[in-house]
Every structure is written in structure tokens, then in C-alpha cells.
Amino acid sequence: MNKGYSKPFPILSELISTTYKYKILPQFYNFITNRVYYISLEFYMGRTLQNTMVNLALENACDEATYQLGLDMEELQEMEEDAGLGNGGLGRLAACFLDSMASLGLAAYGYGIRYEFGIFNQKIVNGWQVEEADDWLRFGNPWEKARPEYMRPVKFYGRTEHHPDGVKWVDTQVVLALPYDTPIPGYRNNIVNTMRLWSAKAPCDFNLKDFNVGGYIQAVLDRNLAENISRVLYPNDNFFEGKELRLKQEYFVVSATLQDIIRRFKVSKFGSREVVRTDFNKLPDKVAIQLNDTHPAMAIPELMRVLVDEEELDWDKAWDICVRTCAYTNHTVLPEALERWPIDLFAHLLPRHLEIIYEINRRHLENVAARFPGDHERLCRMSLVEEGGQKRVNMAHLCIVGSHAVNGVAQIHSDILTATIFKDFYEMDPHKFQNKTNGITPRRWLVMCNPGLAEVIAERIGEDFIRDLDQLKGLLKYVNDEAFIRDIAKVKQENKLKFAAHLEEHYKVKINPNSMFDIQVKRIHEYKRQLLNCLHMITYYNRIKKEPNKQWTPRTVMIGGKAAPGYHTAKMIIRMITAIGEVINNDPVVGDRLKVIFLENYRVTLAEKAIPAADLSQQISTAGTEASGTGNMKFMLNGALTIGTMDGANVEMAEEAGDGNLFIFGMRVDDVTALDKKGYHAVDYYNRLPELKQAMDQISTGFFSPKQPDLFKEIVDMLMHHDRFKVFADYEDYIKCQEQVNELYKNPKEWTKKVIYNIAGSGKFSSDRTISQYAREIWGVEPTLEKIPAPDDI
């Protein structure tokens, strides 16, 4: 594949030359009816250097330059810290979306928080997870540029005063938001967008106005309290922790971002700082705000506060503008993940916003009552304020009412939303609800992390698939091509050897590169069912022990992922995985036919190494719990076969690749619902399935923890008596499905044919397709693959 142009690509600084800025760019942006603002509390970017070189077609030039300096490009890349400003899928999705928005020529901005400490680094010590702070900025960040000229004040606390001429929010505490800009280059189209992350700074007079003799030092020290807002990423995935600091973070990013959006809207003339636009009626035509989950939900009451209190619009006009500007993406149906903020906290921290939410709710409930007269229960269900016990604001309800579009992230997830948790809202406003199946950027997740596979594909169908991933369908004509089958298998084997060498170097683990690389990497959570994987490992181990002379398919099972520091069960699951590994890996009867490895500190950079090497991808959540998943798509694109339930995007992956080309098992959503009605009794499966009983007995009697026989008592108790995610109900089908995996792996040619069907079917799962749908169906902008002239082409 061509990694560089014949003439050098213009460096980023050249993109702001005067002629270019004032003559070329305005013409280009005339095609665009509005700007897109993607607000997210997480952007899980990983490393930037190699991705930038790929997108700017500079890989060959940089390789050559470093070589002539006596340096090694790979060594240089390994020195870069991951920007780990996200927990998992939601944050990584935002990063993929930034890449696609730039590559599709959208005038789009990512807005978030510049956390001083990102997702913690995970160490495994004596089998347990130990967290270390991720001081990713300790050597500086060469990709960012501070923009103090755009610093914005953000207000907290205080009280409201109601006057005849409007409401005033007074006696507030001010924190300054300092923006840092990171360039987001599109794929070889001469477009560079911006990710703007806000950092909290205390104002110069912070706490000094009330210091007395001797209070000066304390007042200066107290500046930390304000600056703590952007100190650390909350490490919870799919779990709501109702802490004041978290609500502060959510309002901080929203307030600073909306000030920036409105400043830019008012200025409007390209390259000018003069206020020329004061009519807010055009705001929804010029501005689209996408809320990535409910975390930035405060954008809705904040936009209302700005329009009503500061710009003095009447409520109805302001509300119409607000709804037409905002759109909301839902990422989960798990009740423990839904944000429900206590009213008392709101009243203390954001008193004016609470008043606005009450008014939004009053008018909303009037509309509901008019549509469904006499249905009091529906009013309670649909209220933005939950009564009973501690009163809370339901942020998902706020987002639905305050947005013109609400989307789920896979078809099955969007269907579940309208049929269950948002059913009442769907009946009220069916036109609001859409589906936007997630995607991944093929630049990072194929061209960059798996150049060998990208090369083999390009030799058959050309390079345009990188911009238009649907072209991978063109590989279908090579399914029976012996040379292509050989090439695909060869690339996979090379990737496995490379990853095996990496594991040996960094983890001192020696693995059999001819074994099946069976990988489950994702956050550790009960609903993702790493425990089901554990039960298969134990069952397979027991079978090998029972018949050691049989021809077993060799496997290396790798599980990786972080557990939220406060999630005790998830930490115990990690300890169980490491304990099973200690026994299996040291059993001479088993040898290298089965190995179990916990991949420490799973992150974007480790994913880029592991995914191209995988043979089998495990996507085994209980049907109806994983909104979409995106790791599943990365494995599919990189030539792994999937064993999975009919959950999230797995359903659409099976549609695209063909049902027979994935290993699908287990209950469907309807089966789970039926089992809930009937009652799930784990003990029935335990008594009926001898191999399950044997595995559970081994866990509970200390076979895998001889020094602490009752180490996993809580996990056993959970699985036997209160397992919300019904691990045992899918065990039997899962084990049978794994037998089919073993059989097919013995026939490399047939295995590789299924791999080709999967790669050819993965075009739908490009984030370019996802973003094109958001652009056309929600934001009202038209994506383009047009390349604008580079500065030196003018």
C-alpha cells in the first residue's frame, strides 16, 4: 500500500496560511449548513503519532527521516503515552467519531475535559488488580495547544433572585475553564478539525476576598479545590456514582462549551471576531449539539438559562431553539448506569438550573396530561423528577424531552429502548426515536494496527476501501481463491507470532503460537460474563485431564480488562481468572494445549496489538444487556471469528457476514424475558449438568485457591442464588458451541473462508457509515469525500 505521496504533505502549521484561511476554507465551509458539536465526558484517544502519519500520508517520509537520524520509528512510537481519557466503549466511540467527522469533511468539534489523570494503570499483584494513577501529562503533551485567549468563567453554588425584568443567579463561585486544542486530521483530505478539552483554573481572587490575617496561604492552597474539577476521570463504566465532583465536571464542560458555541455563532463571519449575529432563531440551522449519553445533559437547562436569562428570549422561543439544537445518544439500558441526581445536590450546586428543570417538567407534564388525560401513573413514570424517598432528577428523561432526536447504538438496543425503558416517551413522540448502529474507524483499526492485512486486501480490491469500507464486499469473489486464503492465513500467523513475542518480552509468558488465540477483552462486568468464559476454561481443562491422550485443539485463552476500583465483584472475577491460570498453566498433563493469560492493563495501545492476533473473539453478554459493543467489530474486521450471543451489534454482524459464519449461541432477548417471568433457578442447571456441577464444586472447595478454599465463596453464592445475568442458563449451549469452534479450527482452510466472509461483511461497521447517518438524519449536514486543496496547491 502507498504510505506516502510523491511530494511532502503540508505540515499542520501550513494549514493556517493567510490565503488558505481566508479564501479556500470559507469556500469549503459554504457547503456546510452548520457546525457539529460532539460533547462527551470521555475521549479515549490512545496514541496520536502513528494515526496522524497514516491520515497525513507521512509514514514513509517519517520512517526515512528517523532512519537518517539514526532513530527507530517503532521505538519512538512506543515512548508515547496513551491519552486514556475514557473508560471503554463510550470514550473510544467518541474518538472514532472524531476521526470520521474529519474524514467526511464535517465542520465538527469534540468538546470534553482535559483530565490530569486518565483511566488508572492496572497492575496485577499476586493475582489481584492494583490501581496506579495515570500521570499521562508528566512529560507534557506535544499534540495540544493551550488557548488562554478563549478562557471562560463557569459558575457554581450561589442563589437566585427573581426580578420583574428576569432572574439573576448571584453570589456564585467562579472557576475558569482553560481550553486546550488537539488537531484531528481527516484521512488524506487536507482537513483538520479540533478537539477542545477544558482544564479547570482558579481565578486570581479565588477565596482571597474573605481572607483575614494569616488566611492568605490557606486561600492560595484552596485554589486546588477549584482545579480538582479536571483532576481525574471517574473510572466507572456502566455505573452511576452520584458524587458532587462528578456533577461539577458535567456542568463545567457544558457551561464552557456552550459559551464557546454561542461566541462562535455570534461572530459567524469567517476569520472575524466582530459580533454580527444576535438573532438566535437561526441557531438550530447553524449549530447541532450531540450529547454522548446523559453525562452532558446539563447542556439543555444551561442553554435555556443562557437564552432566557442572558439573551432575554421568551420561554417558548428558547425551548423551540433548544430542542431543535440538541440530540441525545443513549448507551445503556442497565438501571444502575442511569444518571439520577438528588434534588438536594442540585439545589446546592446549581440552583438556577433546578428551577429551569422544574419549569421544563411542569410544561412537559401538562403536555402528557393533555395527550393521555386521567393517566396519573403515566405522569409519574414520565416525570423528570422522581418522587418517593429522596427526590431525584432523571437525566435520561431530561435528554429525551429536551432533544429533537434520541438514538440507540444498535438496532436491537434501539428496539429495546422504545419497547421498555422509554416506551412512554416513544408513544408520546415516536418521530424522535432513531437507531444509529456504532462503528469503528478503519484507519486506526485496520490500516494502522494491521498493515499486513490492509496490504493483502488492497492487492485485491485497491485502496479506496479505506474511505468506503463497504467496498470490502468485493472480497467475496475471493472466498475460494487458494492464494487469497493462504495470504489471509499468513498475515494472521505473522500477527500471532508478533503478539506472542510481545507477551514474552513484557509479561514473561511463553505461549504456543500455533494454538487458537481465544480473546475476551473489555471492561470487567457481570453482564459481560467473563465468568461464563471461566466456566468454559475449567470445563475444557477437566476434559483434557479426563482424556489426556485425545487430540485436543490447543488454545491460549486471554482475558483482559479493568475493573472499576469500587466494584468488588469485578475485582473478584479478575482474581478468579488469575487463580484458574495458576492451576492450568502449571499442570504438566495439560502442557501447552491450554493456557490462560490475564492481559494486564488493557488499553487502546494493547488492543492495537492483541486484536490483529486474535483467532476467536468472545462477545458473550446476556442478550439485551450490551447496547452495541465495538470491540466485536474490531475483531471481525481483523480476521477473528466471533463466538457470541444475539446481543448488541452481534445481531447485525451475523446479518452482514451470514449467520453460519459466526458461532451464535444462547438465549435471545425474548427467552431472557420469558425466563424472568418464569423465574431463573440456577440450582436446576447445577443439578442437571454434571460438568457445570464439577466446575462449580472445584471453585467452591478451593481447587483453584488451595491456600484460601473459600476465596470465591461470594462469586459462587452470586452465581447460585442472585445472578441477574443468568450465566448457567447459557452454559450448556456455550460449551456445545465451543466444541464447534474446536472442530472448525482443525480445518484451517474452512476456518479462513469464514474469516473472509467476516472481513467482507464488516463494511457496515465503519464509523464513517455511522457518522454519515448522524449527519444526514440528525444534524442536517451533508458528508463529503471531497478533498480540499492543500496550501501549496493554491
Q: Per-residue pLDDT tens for 563-621? A: 999 999 999 999 999 999 999 999 999 999 999 999 999 999 999 999 999 999 999 99
Per-residue DSSP letter, 777: I
Helical spans, DSSP H, in 17-137: 18-19, 25-29, 49-55, 59-68, 73-79, 89-103
The secondary structure element, H or E, covering residue 253 is: helix 244-267
Q: Is the pLDDT of residue 12 over 70?
A: no
Residue 127 falls in which region: left (phi positive, over 0), alpha (psi -120 to 50) or beta: left
For residue 5, name the pLDDT band (cuts at 50, 70, 90): very low
CA distance 301 to 623: 35
Q: Which residue has the cell 427573581?
A: 162
Across residues 647-674, what is the average pLDDT?
Answer: 98
For the segment 326-350, the average pLDDT, to the nearest whole number, is: 96
Average pLDDT over residues 353-367: 98
Amino acid identity of residue 29, one-letter, is: Y
pLDDT at 229: 98
Report the range of poorest mean pLDDT among 20-24, 215-219, 727-731, 772-776: 20-24
In this prediction, residue 2 has a pLDDT band, given cuts at 50, 70 and 90, of low
Of 239-248, 376-385, 702-711, the one with minimum mean pLDDT is: 239-248
Bridge-based pairing of strands 616-619 and 641-644 is: parallel
Quote the pLDDT of residue 645: 98
Straight-line distance from the first to the last Cα atom of the chain, in angstroms, rounded to the nearest whole number? 28
pLDDT band at 448 (very low <50, low <70, confident <90, very high): very high
Q: What is the mean pLDDT of the chain?
A: 94
**Contact by Cβ (8 Å): 735, 623:** no
Distance CA 297, CA 34 (A): 21
pLDDT at 214 over 80: no
User: What is the mean pLDDT of the segment spanning 258-275?
Assistant: 82
What is the DSSP code (8-state) at residue 526?
A: G
Residue 439, CA atoms < 13 Å, CB-side half-sphere:
27
Any bridge partners for residue 556, and if so which? Answer: 517, 595
pLDDT of the residue at 437: 98
Q: Whose CA is closest to 672, among 717, 719, 621, 629?
A: 621
- Give the confidence band of 245 by pLDDT, cuts at 50, 70, 90: very high
Q: Which residues does 257 contact at the CB level (< 8 Å), separation at least 6?
A: 37, 39, 111, 196, 198, 296, 299
Q: Which residues are catalytic?
A: 331, 522-523, 528, 630, 634
**Cβ-contact 156, 350 below 8 angstroms:** yes
Say what percent of the chain tops pLDDT 70.
Answer: 94
What is the tens place of the pLDDT at every residue in 104-126?
999 999 999 999 999 999 999 99
Residue appearing with cell numbers 469503528: 440
Closest to 574 in 3D by CA, of 585, 559, 584: 559
For residues 454 and 446, what is the distance between their CA atoms, to the nearest angstrom? 6
Checking if the pLDDT of 213 tops 60, the result is no
- The answer to whether 408 and 330 are in contact (CB under 8 A) is yes
Q: Shortest CA distance to 724 belongs to which of 534, 471, 557, 527? A: 527
Q: Which run of H or of E encompasses 598?
A: strand 594-599
User: Which cell numbers in the block locate residue 629?
Assistant: 459493543
Beta strands in 87-211, from DSSP E residues, in sequence order: 108-113, 121-125, 128-132, 145-146, 152-156, 159-163, 166-170, 173-185, 192-201
The enclosing H or E element of 617 equals strand 616-619
Contact 712, 704 (CB under 8 A): yes
Q: What are phi and psi of 400, to 5 degrees?
A: -65, -45
The three three-digit cell numbers of residue 649, written as one number: 451489534
Number of neighbours of residue 246 by Cβ within 10 angstroms: 18
pLDDT tier, 239 (very low <50, low <70, confident <90, very high otherwise): confident
Q: Find, among 253, 244, 238, the residue nearest to 293 by Cα.
A: 238
Using CA atoms, how far apart are residues 774 and 783, in angstroms rounded to an integer?
A: 10
- All three cell numbers of 131, joined, read 490501581
Residue 615 Cα distances to 71, 215, 493, 496, 754, angstroms:
34, 64, 10, 9, 11
- For residue range 734-759, what is the model confidence (pLDDT) as tens digits? 999 999 999 999 999 999 999 999 99
Residue 587: per-residue pLDDT: 97
User: Contact, 318 vs 284, CB < 8 A?
Assistant: no
Angle at 441 between CA 439 and CA 442, to 5 degrees: 115
Mean pLDDT of 653-663: 97
Given phi > 0 = left and psi -120 to 50 = alpha, else beta, which region is 583?
alpha
- C-alpha distance from residue 722 to each of 67, 156, 295, 731 (Å): 59, 42, 30, 16
Residue 505: all three cell numbers together: 518480552
**For residue 21, what pLDDT band results from cuts at 50, 70 and 90?**
very low
User: Which pLDDT does position 30 carry in this prediction?
Assistant: 42
Residue 592: CB atoms within 10 Å: 14
**424: Cα separation from own chain's centroid:** 28
Q: Determine which of 13-17, 95-99, 195-199, 223-227 has the lowest per-residue pLDDT on average.
A: 13-17
Mean pLDDT in residue range 409-428: 98
Report residue 684's pLDDT band, with 50, 70 and 90 as the boundaries: very high
On whether the CB atoms of residues 392 and 385 are closer than 8 A, the answer is yes
pLDDT band of 202, cuts 50, 70, 90 = very high
Across 515-538, average pLDDT: 98
Own/partner pairs, 743-749, CB within 8 angstroms, 24+ separation: 743/553, 744/641, 745/516, 745/553, 745/615, 746/553, 748/489, 749/485
Q: Would strands 35-39 and 108-113 be described as parallel, antiparallel, or unpaired?
A: parallel
pLDDT of residue 79: 96
The C-alpha R_g of the chain, in whole angstroms, comes to: 27
Type of residue numbered 727: V
Cell of 186: 481527516
555-560 and 641-644 beta bridge pairing: unpaired
Alpha carbons 46 and 81: distance in angstroms, whole number: 8
CA 541, CA 448: separation in Å to the nearest integer? 36
Give the whole-angstrom CA distance, residue 562 versus residue 574.
9
For residue 516, give the C-alpha cell.
487458537
| Structure confidence at residue 495 (pLDDT) | 98
At what angle are helices 482-507 and 451-461 packed, to 10 degrees? Answer: 170
Least confident of 80-94, 416-430, 505-519, 652-666: 505-519
- Rounded to whole angstroms, the Cα distance separating 68 from 88 reads 38
Separation between Cα atoms, residue 286 and residue 325, nearest integer Å: 9
Q: What is the torsional sign of CA 263, 267, 268, 270?
A: negative
Say what the pTM is.
0.95
- Structure-block grid coordinates of residue 596: 490462560
Coil, helix or strand at residue 169: strand
pLDDT class of 269 with cuts at 50, 70, 90: low
User: For residue 509, what pLDDT is reported?
Assistant: 86
Alpha helices in 631-780 (DSSP H): 631-637, 650-657, 669-678, 682-688, 690-701, 713-721, 727-745, 748-760, 767-774
| Cα-based angle 408, 414, 418 (whole degrees, multiple of 5) | 120
* Amino acid 16: pLDDT: 44
pLDDT surpasses 80 at 18: no
Q: Which of 100, 94, 97, 88 is nearest to 112 (CA)?
A: 94
Q: What is the DSSP string of 536-585?
A: HHHHHHHHHHHSTTS-PPPEEEEEE-PPPTT-HHHHHHHHHHHHHHHHHH
Strand order in the sheet with 385-386: 340-342, 392-394, 385-386
